[in-house]
Each structure stands twice: as structure tokens, then as C-alpha cells.
């Protein structure tokens, strides 16, 4: 029986980490790279992890600079920022075969349905990565903390493929939760991302500095409650205990530079459409307002305009 083929689109902090885990789990993994392609071809892929460092030597690495050179895949892991989703047609379509599972390892809400409709796919998976991981150099990933992933699927016919992927992750040493209703999982991830990604970018601060300020903790909790109320519009119930648990865990977390803060510092466009605008609009369509979240979104829009003008 041939190995299942995985394609990783976006070999950064997320795609590089989970792709490398799958490789070490014995799977046939193929990595699409951009600016660091030649460095990785020459030196391999390196992951410094709090679970123990591991790498893929260049001699054992399937690295590509063009999708056209990659084999068709059983599972396509999309680990790009949602700001690059306009490129998905050229990146995904050449890799598809019947029953390919496209798995979006992205933040925000609404992308699974968009991709399913755009590619006429019966199902599209989504993964929520609860991980502190940064790309610190070409082909070099620093995994600071956590690593669990929650996966779900848009389209009920994809349940079997979803569970098979969960088994692949478990075999590869990744803690995984299966939440078949992907929108539930997405709201739960937004519960943390909306306050902490946005506020860290606006304030130019890591999580530890933010949690040292009682007023900022109160604001973060208020934004989380707005997300909780928005989630109820799609019949997703988020208990207050989860909000309290996330705040406690964030307070105990090692100082962490969120992805949005790193994007701002590196003058990259911020992911605000799927993480903020889609959530605000979805809530508003059901008569639910998110005033603090909206104010944060408007500040992030200002930052994005500054970044784009440079």
C-alpha cells in the first residue's frame, strides 16, 4: 500500500512545524517554499521545539519552488496567511485529485465555505493550531509552546477523511481534537485571536507585558465576551469557563510575540478580513453588535493602510 501524499503550501511557522511532524511520522510530505527555497534545499528544514529539536536533512526533504513540480496530493495543508487566499486557485488546483482533503490551517472564519464553493469541492477541512511557533530564519522554526490542533470539516461527506487525517497527526506525535462542526472550532480560536492578536499589534507588546496590565486584561475579557455572543448567532455555545481558562493560560504563557504583531513589525499586511470583518459582519447580520471588537478592527485598518503605503 502506497503512502498517503501530503502537500504543504506555506512552509513557515505553522506549515513547517506540522509538515515536519508528519514527515517524522513516516508520511510522504512535499513542501512548497518561497524565498528560502534554495537555503532549505542546501541545508534542510530545522525545528527547535520545546518538545525536543528535530529537523529534516536536505537529502530527505521534498522541497519545491513551484506547484507545477509537485505530485497530486491526498491532503493539501494550506498554511498561508489569509491575506494570500487570492492565490489559492493557482496553488491548490494543480494538486487536486478525487477525494483530496484540503485542510486550511488558517485563522478567522468563513474560508472553508469560500474554498469549497470556488473549487466545487464536496468538503474542505479547517485546522485551528493552538501553538506558539515563529519562523526565525530561512528554513528555521522556533516552537516555543503548545502544539495541539483542533480540526473540523465543512461538508458532512468529509467526516471519514477528517478522522483519517486526525489519525495521521496522532501517529506523528501531534495532539489533536476533532470537532466535526468547523464553525464551532473557529469561534473558539477567535476567542483568543481577536483580543490578543489585535491588541498586541496595536500596542506593539508581547502577551506577558499585556497580561501584566489589569486594565488590559479586563479589556481582553470584554472583547472575548463579544466573540462569545457573536458565536451564539451560529448556535456555537462558548462557556465563560473557557474564557477564564484562556486568560489563565495566557498569563502563564512564556512571553509570546503574536503573528499579527510580527506582521506589523515586518511591515506585512495584517490578517483582518477573516479574523475581524467576517466575524463582525456575521454577528451584525443576526442583530448582534461588537463595539469593542469593531473599534479594535478600525485601528488595525489604520495600521494596514500605513503598511500598504510604505
- Do 156 and 102 sit in the same domain of this protein? yes
- Do 15 and 102 sit in the same domain of this protein? yes
pLDDT at 201: 98
Q: Total domain count for the chain?
A: 2
The lowest-confidence range among 61-75, 134-148, 235-249 is 134-148
Q: Specify whether 4 is catalytic.
A: no
Euclidean distance between CA atoms 283 and 275, whole angstroms: 13
- Do 38 and 157 sit in the same domain of this protein? yes
The domain boundary, picked from 143, 174, 205, lies at 174
Report the mean per-residue pLDDT for the chain: 95
Asked if pLDDT for residue 72 goes beyond 90, the answer is yes
- Do 106 and 148 sit in the same domain of this protein? yes
Asked if pLDDT for residue 307 goes beyond 80, the answer is yes
Asked if pLDDT for residue 285 goes beyond 90, the answer is yes
- Do 119 and 212 sit in the same domain of this protein? no
Give a yes or no: residue 179 inside a domain: no
The domain boundary, picked from 117, 144, 174, lies at 174
The domain boundary, picked from 174, 204, 229, lies at 174
Euclidean distance between CA atoms 222 and 278, whole angstroms: 19
- Do 160 and 89 sit in the same domain of this protein? yes
Give the tens place of pLDDT for each residue, 205-234. Answer: 999 999 999 999 999 999 999 999 999 999
Overall average pLDDT of the 102-108 stretch = 95
List, in sequence order, the alpha helices (H) in the chain. 15-24, 37-43, 88-92, 111-118, 159-171, 182-203, 207-211, 214-231, 240-252, 259-265, 278-284, 291-309
Active-site annotation holder among 72, 135, 189, 308: 189
* CA of residue 124 relative to chain centroid, distance: 15
Task: Report residue 164 as a C-alpha cell.
Answer: 483519517
What confidence category does residue 274 fall into, taking pLDDT thresholds of 50, 70 and 90? Answer: very high
The parent domain of residue 198 ranges over 185-309
Residue 245 maps to which CATH number?
A: 1.10.1040.10
What does pTM read for this prediction?
0.86
Euclidean distance between CA atoms 287 and 242, whole angstroms: 24
- Do 146 and 14 sit in the same domain of this protein? yes
Amino acid at each position: 500500500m502506497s503512502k498517503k501524499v501530503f502537500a504543504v503550501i506555506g512552509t513557515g511557522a505553522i506549515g513547517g512545524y506540522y509538515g515536519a511532524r508528519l514527515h517524522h511520522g513516516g508520511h510522504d510530505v512535499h513542501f512548497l517554499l518561497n524565498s528560502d527555497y534554495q537555503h532549505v534545499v542546501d541545508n534542510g528544514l530545522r525545528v527547535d521545539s520545546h518538545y525536543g529539536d528535530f529537523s529534516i536533512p536536505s537529502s530527505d526533504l521534498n522541497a519545491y519552488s513551484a506547484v507545477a513540480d509537485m505530485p497530486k496530493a491526498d491532503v493539501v495543508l494550506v498554511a498561508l496567511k489569509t491575506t494570500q487566499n487570492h492565490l489559492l486557485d493557482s496553488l491548490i488546483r494543480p494538486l487536486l485529485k478525487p477525494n483530496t482533503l484540503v485542510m486550511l490551517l488558517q485563522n478567522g472564519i468563513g474560508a472553508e465555505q469560500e474554498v469549497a464553493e470556488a473549487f466545487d469541492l464536496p468538503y474542505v477541512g479547517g485546522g485551528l493550531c493552538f501553538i506558539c511557533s515563529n519562523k526565525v530564519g530561512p528554513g528555521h522554526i522556533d516552537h516555543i509552546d503548545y502544539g495541539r490542533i483542533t480540526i473540523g470539516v465543512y461538508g458532512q461527506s468529509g467526516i471519514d477523511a477528517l478522522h483519517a487525517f486526525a489519525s495521521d497527526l496522532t501517529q506523528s506525535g501531534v495532539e489533536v481534537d476533532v470537532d466535526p462542526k468547523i464553525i464551532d472550532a473557529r469561534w473558539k480560536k477567535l476567542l483568543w485571536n481577536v483580543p490578543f492578536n489585535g491588541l498586541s499589534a496595536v500596542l506593539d507588546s508581547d502577551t506577558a507585558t499585556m497580561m501584566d496590565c489589569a486594565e488590559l486584561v479586563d479589556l481582553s475579557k470584554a472583547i472575548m465576551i463579544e466573540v462569545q455572543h457573536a458565536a451564539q448567532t451560529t448556535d456555537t455555545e462558548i462557556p465563560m469557563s473557557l474564557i477564564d481558562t484562556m486568560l489563565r493560560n495566557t498569563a502563564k504563557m512564556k512571553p509570546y510575540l503574536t503573528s499579527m504583531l510580527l506582521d506589523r513589525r515586518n511591515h506585512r499586511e495584517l490578517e483582518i478580513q477573516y479574523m475581524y470583518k467576517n466575524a463582525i459582519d456575521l454577528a451584525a447580520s443576526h442583530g448582534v453588535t461588537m463595539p469593542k471588537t469593531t473599534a479594535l478592527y478600525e485601528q488595525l485598518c489604520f495600521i494596514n493602510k500605513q503598511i500598504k503605503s510604505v
